[in-house]
Chains A and B, each alone.
Chain A
Amino acid sequence: MEGNPITQLAAIDYAIMAVYFAAVLGVGFALKRVMRTSTDFFLSGKSLPAWVTGLAFISANLGAQEVIGMGASGAKYGIATSHFYWIGAIPAMLFVGLFMMPFYYGSRVRSVPEYLKLRFDEKTRTLNAVTFAAMTVFSSGISMYAMGKLFNLLLGWSFNVSVLVSAAIVLAYVSFGGLTSAIYNEVLQFFLIVFGFAPLVYLGLRSVGGWDGLTAKLNAASVANGLPEGAYTHAWQGMTHASTNPIGVEWFGLVMGLGFVLSFGYWCTDFLVVQRAMAADSMTAARRTPLIAAFPKMIFPFLVILPGMIALALTIGAGPGAGLIPAKLAADGTPLIDAAGRAVLDYDLATPMMLVKLFPSGMLGLGLTALLASFMSGMAGNVTAFNTVWTYDIYQSHIKPGASDQHYLWMGRAATVGGIILSIAAAYVAGSFNNIMDLLQLVFAFVNAPLFATFALGMFWKRSTGHGAFWGLVAGTLGAMLHHGLTLAVGAVPGVKGGYFGLVHTYPSELAQTFWTAIVAWTTCFVVTIVVSLVTRPRPESELEGLVYSLTPKPKDQELPWIKRPASLALIVIVLIVGLNLVFL
């Protein structure tokens, strides 16, 4: 790779990174002696308190996509990006804690695909397990690729060294300490990210003249971009029509597509996050895991979105090339210019540039360590979910059933090595064939979008059958593909962005297209599952106890103090979240 690095680190910065890596590895080594059975390794022996699993629940998801991506979206869309939290993640997290965790934890399954096996049948489980395993490997590969590229650009580190060293560290601590090690390090990483980013927001706000100064600068930016004044600092203003808000979606597509289908599909069915709750030491702790996680999660927009908004404020009006966010470069090295004659900004650099420009040596080391931590926690989260699904749902159920527990423990460690090697391979694939990765992410989006319909029907409608679930999932995926293939976002060309089957509708933005693709996939899956279920033979009710809502005794929380009851925690979260939406209306 060529080009001069954007900044250089001082000895103190390297010392901070070294101390952090030593701590991460130390936790892994210290836990090695505790890993005696496969349950210890894959499910932390179901022994962790709720606050630990709760912080890991959000930290496992806090990969590159979140820290870099949410900063980029903050610079692109402003405070409306908080919809991903306040309409997206939080309601789904409440739902999984209150209503779905009793089935995941109570049925004693070891993974999300295994629930599908108990509730439906082997083919539904295998479909879910295989696509999920593939997806985790590619996500962690993409995470590694993004990290290698970013640190090459910022510090001039070699791409190969960044990828291989971070992979080796994750490999060491996961293969020694299993899920407990991953979860403990996620908690460590959670605090590191909070401590690394909070001062960035403070310094950033001071440099733009506080919230009022930020609002004034962003108002000018929204007018310059043809949006109503206040579009970047109000989350709901202008949501009645796609053309009057920066994300280019109307409220219905946002609430149904993002708030319902995509968020519930991710937070309620993705084993990567559900696995953290399943490691909790009791049913109540498992149910409280996502509810406890919801508190820091709703504050996260201020940590990860606000830096992007401040970066935009520090870019607008600074003159060409002088702003904080650099312009995207064309192949010949000149800045890209859009149709209106403005430079096309490289939004993915918003948060990293904030770190580099606002932090002095010392704090810069802490901030970059937090960034590295987020990359590694994202990678470790994927790898621990991969080794479990591989070992229990693919290896034990199809390749070698009935082996000893020690054999599966060994397989889990081997799968950790295999998963990391595959992730590294995926990182290099991402580097050489960008379109292949876009295509794969698209395919995964098609596979994931219908999932929540399957789980919702499985858990709350006892009549749904295995054939219904399987064909519903297949139809939902095909429905998503068909919808995507027939639509395009304004300005996009047919190809990986859609329109490959012809063009029947044009969406005002790519997000609008994504949200509506999800809505179509969910609805197709929901309808097909119901229709096929009604014409196929249902399972006897005696086999569905503990798996379906109407046939499972309700969890009793009465003996708990009210503050520890899942329902009261959820109520507090709802009040706070409504408040946040009103404040940033």
Chain B
Amino acid sequence: MSSAEGMDIRVPIGGLFTLLGVMLAGYGLVAGSRTTSDVAPVTNVNLWWGIVMVVFGLLMLALSRRAMGAPPPER
């Protein structure tokens, strides 16, 4: 009974990371690879890391969807 009566924590994690990832990647697309200092090499870190976060978020959502269809895990 992985917290069936409460909530599956993978849903808020998945939702949060998907949203944050979309925000970051979107900002990266618009703002390009401007960086705040010359210490870091020029990489569009917002875009790439935003995409990674979206992938992670969707993976979490997919896992929770799969768990909902499956029988409850053994105790």
- B-binding residues in A (CB < 8 A): 7, 12, 15-16, 19-20, 23, 26-27, 30-31, 34, 47-49, 52, 180, 184, 187-188, 191, 195, 199, 203, 206-207, 281-282, 314, 324, 356-364, 366
Cα–Cα distance between A314 and B49 once the two chains are bound (Å) = 24
Q: Which one of B5, B20, B36, B75 lies within 8 Å of A366 (CB-CB)?
A: B20
Q: Is the CB of B3 within 8 A of A362?
A: no
CB-CB nearest 9 A-B residue pairs? A362-B46, A360-B35, A358-B40, A34-B6, A23-B16, A362-B27, A49-B2, A12-B27, A203-B40
Known: A30-B7, A31-B6, A281-B1. Contact between A184 and B12, CB under 8 A? yes
> Any chain A CB within 8 A of the CB of B62?
no
Q: Which one of A7, A19, A206 lies within 8 Å of B19 (CB-CB)?
A: A19
Q: Is the CB of A363 within 8 A of B24?
A: yes
Hey, which chain B residues are within 8 Å of A188, CB to CB? 9, 12-13, 16
Q: A31-B7, A199-B45 are in contact. List 9 more A-B contacts (CB 8 A).
A: A16-B20, A47-B1, A48-B3, A195-B52, A195-B56, A203-B41, A357-B39, A359-B40, A363-B46
Select from chain B the residue with minimum beta-carbon distance to A360. Answer: B35
Known: A187-B13, A207-B39, A360-B46. Contact between A15 and B53, CB under 8 A? no
> Any chain A CB within 8 A of the CB of B58?
no
Select from chain A the residue with minimum beta-carbon distance to B53. Answer: A195
Q: Is the CB of B36 within 8 A of A361?
A: yes
Which B18-75 residues sit within 8 Å CB-CB of chain A? Answer: 19-20, 23-24, 27-28, 31, 33-37, 39-41, 43, 45-46, 49-50, 52-53, 56, 73, 75
Least CB distance, B39 to chain A, in whole angstroms: 5
Q: Is the CB of B41 within 8 A of A49?
A: no
Least CB distance, B4 to chain A, in whole angstroms: 9
Interface size on B, as a range, is 35 or more
Q: Is the CB of B37 within 8 A of A358?
A: yes
Q: Is the CB of B3 within 8 A of A47?
A: yes
Hey, which chain A residues are within 8 Å of B17, CB to CB? 191, 195
Select from chain A the residue with minimum beta-carbon distance to B60. Answer: A191
Q: Is the CB of B37 within 8 A of A357?
A: yes
Hey, which chain A residues are within 8 Å of B35, CB to CB? 360
Q: Is the CB of A19 within 8 A of B45?
A: no
Q: Which one of B5, B15, B45, B53 lies within 8 Å of A359 (CB-CB)?
A: B45
Cα–Cα distance between A30 and B5 once the two chains are bound (Å) = 11
Known: A27-B12, A49-B3. Contact between A358 and B20, CB under 8 A? no
